[in-house]
């Protein structure tokens, strides 16, 4: 689609990925009920999911070292506060706030120490760990590439942490960053095409309109377009990967309208009103044009993921402080938005393992950390106003995303943003749609879908009636 510049034009890229609204009006939480809630004489209050973070922060400030994490019991709509020790004053403080006290073995300091040990001894490609307050343990995951001596080393490290401090499991997939998808943004780098997803529109610190996306996209290319072979419409201002995984990309036209909303197809949007910290046990939604709209639960916080580096042979790209979820994702969802039903921006899709058939785990860069680091704020910049999202312009809808399971358009310097490494089969470089150095160059994605153009061109999931969100 050709690129047109018009005065005060609306953003050609809608926020988030293209999916559809379904006929079902309700999204049922799939968080597990707590197995460890302690009984008490006071009747706990019920809370909405978006109230949990503030309540837990206030209680944590009062409890000090006795605080050992918190989570949301979605079935009962209760906030559970983990505590070490049996101080009656601590228990009463929790109950007076309307939360449920839950006595646990491991303090926050113990779990932090365990994470430091894992970092020192088990930082190898294909491993990840996060804090799971429901079990009061560090959850360690190894993907299918961690075998033999690497697996033995990981298991022995976990055992060395002590009893009931950490658990380890194998994942059937491979940890990779998910590039391309969402409402697509395109770049040309090192002779190949790179495709990523816009996360959330924001206002940069200087007042200009901008958007957030994954950091591994921002270090792969500087200039981004809203159509596959179009002229650049946005330029990377800040990009961080590895370590963190976020980019701030400014629209080149200061009059670009960049509404603060997630496009869910067929002209329907979810207004994004604020940023929120993730809370274990709460329901979240991920947008991506490859797989449409999917929901799941936050399962861990402060996750560390060790991706196989595509720029340093045999190296590791480690990203810290991520949100772990059981929301599925596939190649084509990187950089896209993680949000709540009430319109809170939570995360940017970083990577994970599995797919939307077999399941898996997906990790997200917290939006709150990205906003703090870049100085950006949620909301429209420039001449932004209501409307103008809904997949307008040449965002290529869901069209052309690759169906390959390969790796990422990883940090700069790669040949064609990931020169065909990973487990993709014949799909060119990484998991970007036909990007990289493969014969035939950029553009013609392997396994491409049929969507091309305005919103609603997802992979055929769901229908639209405006009655509410539903997952697929």
Q: Give catalytic residues, as residue numbers.
A: 216, 245, 334
CB distance 245 to 365 below 8 Å: yes
* 54 C-beta neighbours (distance < 10 Å), count: 12
φ/ψ bin of 430: left (φ > 0), alpha (ψ from -120 to 50), beta (otherwise): left
- Of 265, 133, 121, 263, nearest to 199 (Cα)? 263
Cis peptide before 141 (omega within 30 of 0): no
Ranges assigned E (strand) in 16-123 = 67-73, 78-83, 100-103
Q: Can you list the positions of beta strands (E) in 331-450?
A: 337-339, 344-352, 362-366, 377-378
- Parallel, antiparallel, or unpaired for β 316-325 and 292-308? antiparallel
CA distance 210 to 200: 9
The torsion angles phi and psi of 218, rounded to 5 degrees, stand at -65, -30
Long-range contact list for 96-99, CB < 8 A, 24+ apart? 96/42, 97/55, 97/58, 97/59, 98/44, 98/45, 98/47, 98/55, 99/44, 99/45, 99/55, 99/56, 99/59, 99/70
Task: For the beta carbon of residue 243, count every other beta carbon within 10 angstroms.
Answer: 11
DSSP string computed for 101-154: EEE-S--HHHHHHHHHHHHHHH--TTEEEEEETTTTEEEEEE-TT--HHHHHHH
């Amino acid at each position: 689609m050709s690129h047109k510049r018009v005065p005060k034009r609306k953003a050609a890229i809608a926020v988030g990925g293209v999916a559809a609204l379904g006929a079902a009006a309700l999204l049922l939480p799939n968080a597990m009920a707590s197995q460890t809630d302690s009984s008490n004489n006071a009747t706990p209050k019920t809370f909405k999911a978006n109230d949990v973070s503030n309540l837990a922060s206030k209680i944590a400030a009062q409890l000090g070292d006795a605080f050992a994490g918190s989570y949301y019991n979605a079935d009962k709509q209760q906030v559970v506060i983990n505590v070490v020790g049996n101080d009656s004053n601590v228990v009463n403080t929790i109950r007076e706030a309307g939360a449920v006290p839950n006595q646990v073995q491991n303090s926050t300091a113990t779990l932090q120490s365990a994470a430091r040990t894992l970092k020192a001894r088990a930082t190898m490609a294909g491993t990840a760990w996060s804090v799971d307050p429901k079990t009061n343990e560090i959850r360690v995951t190894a993907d299918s590439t961690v075998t033999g001596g690497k697996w033995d080393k990981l298991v022995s490290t976990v055992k060395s942490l002590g009893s009931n401090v950490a658990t380890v499991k194998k994942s059937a997939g491979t940890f990779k960053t998910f590039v391309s998808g969402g409402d697509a943004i395109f770049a040309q780098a090192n002779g190949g095409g790179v495709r990523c997803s816009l996360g959330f529109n924001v206002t940069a610190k200087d007042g200009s309109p901008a958007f957030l996306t994954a950091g591994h996209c921002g270090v792969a290319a500087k200039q981004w377009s809203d159509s596959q072979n179009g002229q650049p419409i946005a330029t990377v201002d800040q990009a961080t990967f590895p370590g963190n995984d976020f980019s701030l990309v400014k629209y080149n036209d200061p009059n670009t309208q960049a509404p603060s909303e997630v496009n869910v197809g067929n002209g329907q949007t979810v207004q994004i009103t604020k940023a929120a910290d993730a809370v274990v046990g709460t329901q979240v939604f991920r947008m991506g044009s490859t797989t449409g709209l999917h929901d799941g639960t936050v399962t861990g916080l402060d996750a560390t993921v060790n991706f196989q580096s595509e720029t340093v042979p045999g190296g590791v790209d480690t990203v810290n402080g991520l949100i772990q979820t059981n929301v599925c994702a596939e190649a084509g969802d990187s950089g896209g938005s993680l949000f709540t039903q009430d319109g809170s921006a939570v995360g940017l899709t970083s990577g994970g393992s599995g797919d939307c058939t077999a399941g898996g785990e997906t990790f997200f860069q917290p939006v709150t950390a990205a906003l703090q680091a870049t100085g950006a704020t949620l909301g429209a910049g420039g001449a932004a106003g209501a409307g103008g999202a809904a997949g307008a312009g040449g965002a290529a809808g869901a069209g052309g995303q690759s169906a390959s399971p390969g790796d990422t358009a990883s940090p700069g310097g790669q040949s064609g943003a990931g020169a065909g490494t990973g487990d993709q089969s014949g799909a060119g470089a990484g998991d970007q749609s036909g990007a990289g150095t493969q014969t035939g160059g950029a553009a013609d994605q392997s396994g491409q879908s049929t969507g091309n153009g305005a919103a609603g061109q997802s992979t055929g999931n769901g229908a639209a009636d405006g009655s509410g969100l539903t997952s697929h």
